[in-house]
Structure 1
Amino acid sequence: MSSTQVGNALSSSTTTLVDLSNSTVTQKKQYYKDGETLHNLLLELKNNQDLELLPHEQAHPKIFQALKARIGRINNETCDPGEENSFFICDLGEVKRLFNNWVKELPRIKPFYAVKCNPDTKVLSLLAELGVNFDCASKVEIDRVLSMNISPDRIVYANPCKVASFIRYAASKNVMKSTFDNVEELHKIKKFHPESQLLLRIATDDSTAQCRLSTKYGCEMENVDVLLKAIKELGLNLAGVSFHVGSGASDFTSLYKAVRDARTVFDKAANEYGLPPLKILDVGGGFQFESFKESTAVLRLALEEFFPVGCGVDIIAEPGRYFVATAFTLASHVIAKRKLSENEAMIYTNDGVYGNMNCILFDHQEPHPRTLYHNLEFHYNDFESTTAVLDSINKTRSEYPYKVSIWGPTCDGLDCIAKEYYMKHDVIVGDWFYFPALGAYTSSAATQFNGFEQTADIVYIDSELD
């Protein structure tokens, strides 16, 4: 959804205002009257989006240098088995820039990095140094964070349905903050970790998200009373409310609705059940660099209306891909080629959907291969490859004459990286591709299917250093 469309969704009619506001809200200050405030803000963001160079672009020279240095040491005719495996370049400077951008756009919100997104130790260490906290979903992730001498009070156990032994483990390690969305979970927590600081996860409208989560987690608003009653009867500590609008959402009004619903739960807990005032609002994850300004504009305005500064509530979030997606570049080796015609071929690389590009299957990502090394020459950042959707058929034939499909190394026909791609170069065996922005939900879910090792090396750089 474009900036204009988002604004229009809130400003097109008074009906929208009614849909987004309950009777309590409409008596409050109307930041969303006719959607004008948000609409104008998003238009301004759209008009000025090209004024600043994307942080990622600043890193290109050092990324290219690192790629070139690594590949330059490999002779695919004499190297040891596996020496030409795919590898990552990780730019820690990009992580720093993204953190600074977070503080600029969302100064009120404390990020708890989603470890599942990319559990790389150096990234976790850097984020910890920057003051970022951590969202863990399992014992292993909790262990990983605690092993780095990070205090357990910097962890939120953000899994609403936990293994009982993991709950006991969290209690033994003094990991106190935890999410839930059902009565059965509360009974486990009462038995194994009764001092937990609980966050009630509510369902959201994530119908426009690429990765939907409310189909699995989150209590519907009509069932919140059941959980609040159970909390009171069991004598547990309800600390706040959490939600997640899904990843890759195109309708940012879902953030507004979720914050509004959270406010309803806050008020209901205190006014109808006599619970102590809630202190934490967890706005979840799903943040992406590409849409960060738009989504955060909606979030800031929603917080200003429902949880204004000075309301006594700590706001936290669970970003994952935002911090690491653009910080990682993957390089893969062309291991085979099957020519179909003069200008058409099937290309096979040593990484694919069972490896570090599993994000194609379950995260709805579309990796964009670019030629890095071709016919003994290096290329970088010349945008020489493109998808089948081009401006015209003439452009396809003249500028991108080579039609290819790109496949991973396993024997499964599902292992396809791109079914139709047009490239400037006639790729040959021994060439290398690079794939920008592959740091989120890639290596963390790689498998060893067919016996292909997926422990890709990581070369670290810092583009913030001279």
Structure 2
Amino acid sequence: MKRDPARFVPRTAPPPPVAGTAAALEGFATAAGMVRALRPVEPVYCLYPPLLRRAARRFVEGFPGRVLYAVKANPQPEVLHELYAAGIRDFDTASLPEIALVSGLFPDAVCHFMAPAKLTGTAETAFRRHGVRSFVVDHDSELDRLLAIADPDTLIHVRMKAFDPRSVYELSSKFGATEDVCRRLLRRVADAGLRPGLAFNVGSLCRHPDAYGDAIARAAALAREAGVEIATLDVGGGFPTPYPGLAPEPLEDFFTAIRRAAAVAPLPADCTLICEPGRALVAEGQSLVVQVILIKDGLVFLNDGIYGSLKELQISNQSVVYPPVVIRPDGPPPAAATRPCEISGPTCDSLDLLPFRIDLPVDLCEGDWIEFGLAGAYSNAMTTAFNGLRPDRWVRIDGDLPPGLRAADRSAVGRPDESEGPR
């Protein structure tokens, strides 16, 4: 019997793992070993498959519902394969290219078109060509377009505003409807004979689980006031990553808060919870190795910058920081003492500067390499080809962990604290 992609069937256990394609990448025991072997002059993305799979399993096994990976965070096929291998079968896709990418890699995957403002005609193409039956709206015009093409199996989430001010990125001024509008849109979906749902996003890099609990209570009350039985409640993404300087509560506390809030909220018995993590699934599982190409008057030039993989370091108000480790394959190891360094990218643009300094060894030299950890989210996804420079070299690291992970993390994935060679 053919599976209906619009229907959510509760799972009692994660699906069996399948082989991914990260194994096809050139592999090294450590990033330092990769540098010694390749001496790369261009930036290199280093995948850590065990970390990607661990993150996916934590969500698949811990979240009380269905997990949709937000492809926009990192669309690299090898990354998608690792998440799929660990049990992710639903994908939050924001465009036709993302839908085509996921559908081409995984014919059994379910794509959800979760962009509130879609390019003209793309919802119909997703519906007719790719079989997408799950969408989101926050305005009557978007709903009008969907009602013109939808069938009774179409699931339409109405997105409400739900910003928690303790989150790093605010996502409710541009997206989300007021409660009055939400009630009207929900009733329109139900009256059309379609499957209504509610959605919200409390903001990216949310550090407090109670933000989700409060939003779930509001959503349940809103649906009740609208007189609509919702089929799904999408709690969005925003789950945190422990970047330096941030101290979020454990991920499991977020799952517990969501589970408890849903249990006491007046939700229909068959309402399915879904979430859309992006950063929390991929940030830890990838690092970035760059080279120091020039040190001039104290300014450190790297072969990557804000037009490449470091864009989010510019726009996050220093909330996103990639922890660095210097790799020096020849000569004495880097000094333990550090100094704050101003960082420039390689482009011919004076704006290609990080807005904060990074502590690096006092004896940092031209030709040194730096591995930045926690670089799996919104790094390669946001690169440009400005000046003809677009990083696109990938390797696999099999025997070490990237900078920024604690000893407990290393123990959990069976990796040593030591890395190969001087770093």
Give 1:326 shift. Answer: 0.5
C-alpha separation between the residues in 1 aligned to 2:300 and 2:330? 15
Local SS of the residue matching 1:404: strand
C-alpha separation between the residues in 2 aligned to 1:187 and 1:421? 49
Indicate the residue corresponding to 1:55 in structure 2.
none
Pair 149,374 (structure 1): closer, same or farther in 2 beyond 3 Å:
closer
Indicate the residue corresponding to 2:87 in structure 1.
131
Give 1:104 shift. Answer: 4.7
Local SS of the residue matching 2:263: helix
Indicate which of 279, 291, 295 corresponds to 1:333: 291
Give 1:215 shift. Answer: 0.9
When the two structures are superposed, what TM-score results if normalisation uses the length of structure 2? Answer: 0.79
Whether 1:147 and 2:104 are equivalent positions in the alignment is: yes
Give 1:318 shift. Answer: 0.2
Indicate which of 37, 61, 83 corresponds to 1:73: 37
Asked if the contact 1:136–1:155 (Cα under 8 Å) also holds between the matched residues in 2, the reply is yes
Give 1:465 shift. Answer: 8.5
Deviations 1:144-198 (A, max 9, x none): 000013335x221111111232111111121101111111111111223355211
C-alpha separation between the residues in 2 aligned to 1:183 and 1:444? 31
The one-letter code matched in structure 2 to 1:285 is G
The one-letter code matched in structure 2 to 1:442 is S
C-alpha separation between the residues in 1 aligned to 2:215 and 2:118? 24
Pair 123,307 (structure 1): closer, same or farther in 2 beyond 3 Å:
farther
Indicate the residue corresponding to 1:444 in structure 2.
381
C-alpha separation between the residues in 2 aligned to 1:147 and 1:267? 39
Indicate which of 209, 217, 227 corresponds to 2:185: 227
Indicate which of 281, 288, 301 corresponds to 1:348: 301
Asked if the contact 1:93–1:465 (Cα under 8 Å) also holds between the matched residues in 2, the reply is no
The one-letter code matched in structure 2 to 1:299 is I
Asked if the contact 1:241–1:265 (Cα under 8 Å) also holds between the matched residues in 2, the reply is no
The one-letter code matched in structure 2 to 1:351 is D
The one-letter code matched in structure 2 to 1:440 is A
The one-letter code matched in structure 2 to 1:405 is E
C-alpha separation between the residues in 2 aligned to 1:461 and 1:418? 33
Asked if the contact 1:181–1:219 (Cα under 8 Å) also holds between the matched residues in 2, the reply is yes
Asked if the contact 1:201–1:219 (Cα under 8 Å) also holds between the matched residues in 2, the reply is yes
Give 1:300 shift. Answer: 2.5
Deviations 1:382-433 (A, max 9, x none): 9x5xxxxxxxxxxxxxx43x44212111122222236434433411111111
C-alpha separation between the residues in 1 aligned to 2:99 and 2:156? 17
Asked if the contact 1:363–1:441 (Cα under 8 Å) also holds between the matched residues in 2, the reply is no
C-alpha separation between the residues in 1 aligned to 2:383 and 2:316? 13
Q: Which moved more, 1:115-124 or 1:298-307?
A: 298-307
Indicate which of 321, 331, 334 corresponds to 1:376: 331
Indicate the residue corresponding to 1:258 in structure 2.
215
Asked if the contact 1:66–1:89 (Cα under 8 Å) also holds between the matched residues in 2, the reply is no
When the two structures are superposed, what TM-score results if normalisation uses the length of structure 1? Answer: 0.72
C-alpha separation between the residues in 2 aligned to 1:244 and 1:442? 22
| Identical aligned residues as a percent | 24
Pair 239,226 (structure 1): closer, same or farther in 2 beyond 3 Å:
closer
* Higher normalized helix content (fraction of residues): 1
Q: Which moved more, 1:165-174 or 1:139-148?
A: 165-174
Pair 372,164 (structure 1): closer, same or farther in 2 beyond 3 Å:
same
* CA RMSD between the two structures: 2.6
Indicate the residue corresponding to 1:54 in structure 2.
none
Asked if the contact 1:86–1:456 (Cα under 8 Å) also holds between the matched residues in 2, the reply is yes
C-alpha separation between the residues in 2 aligned to 1:404 and 1:285? 33
Asked if the contact 1:167–1:193 (Cα under 8 Å) also holds between the matched residues in 2, the reply is no
Indicate which of 184, 204, 209 corresponds to 2:141: 184
C-alpha separation between the residues in 2 aligned to 1:286 and 1:95? 17
Q: Which moved more, 1:434-443 or 1:294-303?
A: 294-303
The one-letter code matched in structure 2 to 1:188 is R
Q: How many residues align?
A: 365
Deviations 1:91-115 (A, max 9, x none): 1101122223224532x22210000
Deviations 1:188-209 (A, max 9, x none): 1122335521111111023222
Indicate the residue corresponding to 2:58 in structure 1.
101
Deviations 1:293-337 (A, max 9, x none): 4433322321221168x9211111000111110101111001001
Q: If you compute each CA radius of gyration, which structure gives the higher value, 1 or 2?
A: 1
Higher RCO (CA < 8 A, seq sep 6+) = 2
Local SS of the residue matching 1:417: coil
Whether 1:320 and 2:275 are equivalent positions in the alignment is: no
The one-letter code matched in structure 2 to 1:428 is C
Q: How does 1:287-436 map to 2 (within 5 A)?
A: 287-290=239-242, 291=248, 292-306=251-265, 311-338=269-296, 340=297, 345-364=298-317, 365-373=320-328, 376-377=331-332, 384=336, 399-400=337-338, 402-417=339-354, 419-436=356-373
Pair 189,128 (structure 1): closer, same or farther in 2 beyond 3 Å:
same
Asked if the contact 2:72–2:381 (Cα under 8 Å) also holds between the matched residues in 1, the reply is yes
Asked if the contact 2:314–2:354 (Cα under 8 Å) also holds between the matched residues in 1, the reply is no
The one-letter code matched in structure 2 to 1:320 is G
